[in-house]
Every structure is written in structure tokens, then in C-alpha cells.
Amino acid sequence: MTNKTFIPLNISILTISDTRTEEDDVSGKQLSERLENEGHHLYEKKIVADNIYQIRAVISDWIADDQVNVLLTTGGTGVTGRDGTPEAVTPLLDKQLDGFGEVFRMISYQDIKTSTMQSRAVAGVANGTYIFCLPGSSGACRTAWDKLIKEQLDFRTKPCNLVQLMPRLMEK
């Protein structure tokens, strides 16, 4: 970190689940708390069923909204028949950040060993908006935020970070 000024981002959270409600959405609440504790703004939070087209509809609306800088999804990244988050989001991406999934699984291996190979966590950018698709478990969300996402969404992180690459934030 350096003496650069922190830039708070508007971050939306989408929980993807057929069973979660606002009352029991532990992962969504955890991500909300973590991003706000770092100084970012929770722009919007929604829960949507494990349905590719419903997921795409919400994500597309947020991608088109110039006020949204980052999207975090939780859920739907596994291998069961209803897990379709990567299939919903990947076609919307202008560029994929392959390193995110690779590093996430590497870090997760320390905690969950070979079970990490079941994770299809992905990330990318669409219309200048960063998207991170995380597993639904609260442990996976903690790992992703604390060990990967948090620092990349902090303008002060060296040698580089994703914020400095956001053209909308850097325009005068």
C-alpha cells in the first residue's frame, strides 16, 4: 500500500440459489459486510433462482448501469445440474480473468484439499464492470474476498490493481 487515496466502489451482490432468502443468505450478508468494512458501497443486493436466464437478466442490468463498478455473485459455480452461473455470465464477458479462478482454487486447496477442483469460480470484465463469480459457501466467499478480491479493489495496492484499470473511474 502507498499514500494514494482510497477510491470507494459501488458493488452489487447477486446470490444465486433456489433455497436462500434474505434471512438465511449467509454468504451474501458476509460479502456485504466485508465490502462495506473496506469502505466500498453496497449498491444493490438481490437473490435469484439457479436459472441461467434470470441470472443473465440481473447481471446484464448491472453491467449496463454506469453506477455499478463491480459485481459479486455467490452460488451456482458447482457441477450439479442446477449450477449454471459460469454458463450465464461467461457469454456476457468482454474479457475473462483466468488467473482469478486459478489462484482461487490454489488458495482453496489449502483449506479443502482436492474438493477445490469442483469449483468453477470465474471472473472477468464486461462494459468496464468487473464480475467475480464465487461459490455459495461462506468459507469460499471469505477466501475469495480476503485473499484475492479485497486488495485488487483497493487503488492503493501495488504493484497494480484492478481499480487503476477502470476507465470510468479514471476519466476527468
Give the CATH number for residue 89: 3.40.980.10
pLDDT at position 171 is 47
**Cell 479443502, residue?**
112
4 lies in some domain: no
2 lies in some domain: no
DSSP single-letter state for residue 94? S
93 lies in some domain: yes
112 lies in some domain: yes
pLDDT at position 4 is 82
Count Cβ atoms within 10 A of the Cβ of residue 71 and give its class: 0-12 exposed, 13-18 middle, 19 or more buried: buried
108 lies in some domain: yes
159 lies in some domain: yes
Low-confidence ranges of the chain (pLDDT < 70): 1-3, 167-172
pLDDT at position 166 is 82
Count Cβ atoms within 10 A of the Cβ of residue 52 and give its class: 0-12 exposed, 13-18 middle, 19 or more buried: middle
3 lies in some domain: no
Domain count of the chain?
A: 1
The partner residues of 130 in beta bridges, in order of sequence, read 70, 125
Give the structural domain span for 121.
10-170
Would you tell me how many other CB atoms lie within 10 Å of the CB of residue 172? 2
pLDDT at position 172 is 41
75 lies in some domain: yes
Examine residue 159 and say whether the peptide bond preceding it is cis (omega within 30 degrees of 0).
yes
